[in-house]
Structure 1
Amino acid sequence: MNTLPHLPTGTVYGTLLNFRREHALWAPRMNEAPYKAPPQAPVLYIKTANTFTSSGHGIALPRGVAEVDVSASLGLVAGEGGAIFGAVLFNDVAIPHESYYRPPVKFRCVDGFLGVGREVVSLDAIGGLAGLGALSLELRVHGVLKQTVSLADLVRDAATLWNDVNAFQSLRPGDVLMLGTDCLEDGTRPRAKAGDAVEVSATGFKPLVNVFVGEQP
């Protein structure tokens, strides 16, 4: 049996502003420059291959960074013919920064800054796309629950997001589309520092665990 940890084989796309709470917090500023209007299509960013970190492996904080944002997310994995093959847990890590609407790559694509779940779970195993909508993701730091993320709170549900993205770009087999990450009530995200063990879990998935460490000399 193959015991190698799962890592994405294609491009991983993140989605911004796809949870109702954060969308509502940013809505008053969406008419400001440079866009001067709310986004009409999904707002995407890329998590580059250097960010991928398997579950069970450490994530190093860059020198001078005391804490990072940690975020539970679920990724849809593309199969053949543009269909959704399955889903995988992620911990989308970023250096805290003021503007989430226009996220600088240097804060999101740091080495190791995407914790990747242990396996891709088939849609059938979790009740199909309808089952995804009933899922909740939990994020814990040292076993203490810091956030519960309900996929019922998406602006675009899984099927709608998948179709809207595929309307302007083709997702190839192995590509992954994250559904987005939610914020806390004050608009921030849970934080982790060196020594913290962060776990992302959901029913039907093996927990994703990464320990954050200080930058190695």
Structure 2
Amino acid sequence: MSYLPSGTVYGVLLNFRAEVEALAPQMNQPPYKAPPKAPVLYVKTANTWSPHGSAITVPAQVEAVEIGATVAMVIGVDNDVEGFVLMNDLSIPHASFFRPPVKFKCVDGFLGIGAAMRDAQEVADPAQFRLEVRINGELKQSIDFSQTVRSAEQLLADVGEFMTLAHGEVLMLGCDAGRPLARPGDRIEIAAPGFETLVNTLVKEQA
């Protein structure tokens, strides 16, 4: 039986240095005129959750989706980290970075969730996580979590400054720049040492 969260799942924007550098010119434009000082969160609602091994339906009018490979923290009973899980935070490509519209992020099935949670006690340092994204067996992206703006510990502390995460809730560590695109028919694999590979296949919505 595959792992599924028992609480709200939160994504995090702008937590990789390359992503911040790429978007820096836009951050200084109206309406914000400065980079955000606190973590920028969004919710991946329960309708988006797709277990490991499942097919994810792409809406008929969408040609390709953006793969957001990441690791997420599962919150424990004492607001600590109980474990880590791989996630594939899919979205329809869009130009709104700061407050991503729900219609691009919260499409049915648009969050692939790893088969099992890895116990936090097995992880010496989340900055050592290394992810590889493959589409149809071909390596498309490598992600190094030593390149985050906020470490896992700092991200949890900074989010805790303005909201309390409950036991079972999930907080992603962010997605790096250079996210590959996948199309209906593609098989997506997200692999990392110590984790079971997360696999999902995209299928086209039937008209």
Would the TM-score normalized by the shorter structure come out above 0.5? Answer: yes
Q: What is the CA–CA distance in structure 1 between the aligned matches of 2:38 and 2:176, rounded to whole Å?
A: 18
Secondary structure of residue in 2 paired with 1:124: helix
Of the three residues 19, 36, 41, the one matched with 2:38 is 41
RMSD of equivalent CA atoms: 0.9
Task: Tell me the distance in 1 between the aligned counterparts of 2:156 and 2:35.
Answer: 20
For residues 91-137 of structure 1, give each alpha carbon's deviation from its aligned partner in whole angstroms, at most 9, with x where no partner exists. Answer: 0000011222331110000000000000110112222xx2x111111
**What does residue 140 of structure 1 align with?**
134
Residue-by-residue CA offset, 1:66-110 (whole Å, 9 max, x unaligned): 110011110000010111100000000000112223311100000
Match of 1:22 in 2: 19
Q: How does 1:112-191 map to 2 (within 5 A)?
A: 112-127=109-124, 130=125, 132-184=126-178, 189-191=179-181
Moved more, 98-107 or 16-25: 98-107
Q: Deviations over 1:11-67 (max 9, x none)?
A: 000000100001011112212111122111000000000000000000000111111
Q: Does 1:5 align with 2:2?
A: yes
Moved over 4 A (4+): none
Q: Could you tell me how far apart the structure 1 residues matched to 2:24 and 2:53 are?
A: 37
Question: Could you say which residue in structure 2 is the equivalent of 1:193?
Answer: 183
Question: Which of 176, 197, 200 in structure 2 is aligned with 1:207?
Answer: 197
Q: TM-score, normalised by structure 1?
A: 0.93
CA-to-partner distance for each residue in 1:160-190, whole Å, 9 max, x for gaps?
A: 0010001110100110000000112xxxx20
Aligned residues: 207
AA paired with 2:195?
F
Q: Quote the Cα distance in structure 2 between the aligned partners of 1:216 and 1:198.
A: 20
Q: Secondary structure at the match of 2:78?
A: helix
The question of 1:78 aligning with 2:75 is answered: yes
Identity, % of aligned pairs?
49
